[in-house]
């Protein structure tokens, strides 16, 4: 862990809730330690924290005391717009790294809205998270109307006779995902323009994460994602999981794939037991304290 030696204040009163500014392949994560404390990180606090350049983030991972026997902690996930998220693979790796740094344990069982998740620090320092099992039924994702086959649904952007994007594969990895398959470079598409429209399309009653996937070989793909509630990000772990699962069930990819995101590579495996694992790095940037109600924060300067 980093050792603070001086406090640099943000604005207002200093709180006593510790947090860590981390990233998973550039996916900006704040881990808030709410253990032993009542209350939650409020939407107003999340919006206020994200409004400051120094603490802009994609997701807050709030660690709470366990609610269910057999689990170590309950994890609540908050997007930068203050909305609640069900799952975040990159964030779970950051949480696992932080908890492992506290003592002798290197593996943890977590509870979240998405269900029971598992995190482990590997011998090489990379972190693997078991993200559970994917869901494909239209009402589980969920979609607003029935589709018998969610490997390809009727959804497109652009002219009917020449759509720019069309026929995504959809699935849930604890949160809804739509994977659009493209043959061109994923950077040649204006995802910053299409993303908001598709995220909020009426077919997705809970909104959705929107990804562009370019399959290079059966075990390699390039992925770019517009995240629900966060926008364009450097990496989205659950989107990588959904893309590999969707790739395998449409026979575009194998069940173990290296996924290259703007922030770097993740390894995703859809195991024979139907669980999906996500392996990659995480990084601690700095530590601080925050008020989980107002979002007022302060940074701890690290000793050289």
Catalytic residues: 88, 236
Q: Tell me the CA distances in angstroms from 51 to 6, 14, 41, 56, 228, one per residue in order.
A: 24, 18, 15, 7, 18
* 6 burial level (CB within 10 Å; 0-12, 13-18, 19+): exposed
| For helices 89-100 and 237-249, angle between their N-to-C axes, nearest 10 degrees | 130
**H or E stretch including 298?**
strand 297-302
CA–CA distance, 171 with 178 (Å, rounded to integer): 7
CA–CA distance, 244 with 260 (Å, rounded to integer): 12
**H or E stretch including 191?**
helix 191-199
Structure tokens at 65: 């005391």
């Amino acid at each position: 862990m980093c050792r603070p030696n001086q406090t640099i204040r943000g604005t207002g009163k200093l709180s006593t809730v510790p947090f860590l500014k981390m990233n998973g392949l550039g996916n900006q994560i704040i881990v808030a330690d709410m253990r032993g404390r009542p209350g939650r990180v409020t939407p107003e606090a999340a919006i206020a924290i994200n409004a400051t350049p120094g603490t802009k983030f994609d997701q807050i991972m709030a660690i709470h005391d366990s609610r269910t026997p057999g689990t170590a902690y309950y994890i609540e996930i908050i997007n930068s717009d203050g909305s609640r998220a069900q799952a975040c693979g990159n964030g779970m790796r950051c949480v696992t790294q932080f908890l492992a740094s506290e003592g002798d344990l290197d593996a943890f069982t977590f509870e979240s809205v998405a269900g029971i998740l598992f995190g482990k620090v590997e011998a090489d320092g990379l972190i693997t998270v078991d993200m559970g099992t994917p869901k494909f039924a239209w009402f589980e994702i969920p979609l607003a109307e029935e589709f018998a086959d969610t490997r390809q649904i009727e959804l497109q952007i652009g002219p009917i006779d020449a759509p720019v994007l069309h026929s995504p594969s959809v699935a849930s990895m604890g949160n809804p995902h739509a994977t659009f398959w493209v043959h061109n470079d994923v950077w040649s598409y204006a995802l910053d323009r299409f993303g908001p429209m598709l995220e909020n399309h009426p077919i997705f009653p809970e909104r959705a994460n929107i990804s562009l996937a370019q399959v290079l070989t059966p075990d390699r793909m390039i992925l770019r994602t517009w995240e629900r509630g966060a926008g364009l990000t450097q990496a989205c772990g659950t989107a990588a999981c959904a893309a590999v699962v969707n790739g395998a069930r449409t026979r575009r990819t194998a069940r173990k794939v290296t996924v290259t995101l703007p922030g770097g590579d993740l390894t995703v495996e859809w195991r024979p037991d139907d669980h999906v694992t996500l392996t990659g790095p995480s990084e601690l940037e700095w530590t601080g304290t925050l008020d989980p109600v107002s979002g007022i924060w302060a940074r701890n300067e690290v000793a050289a």
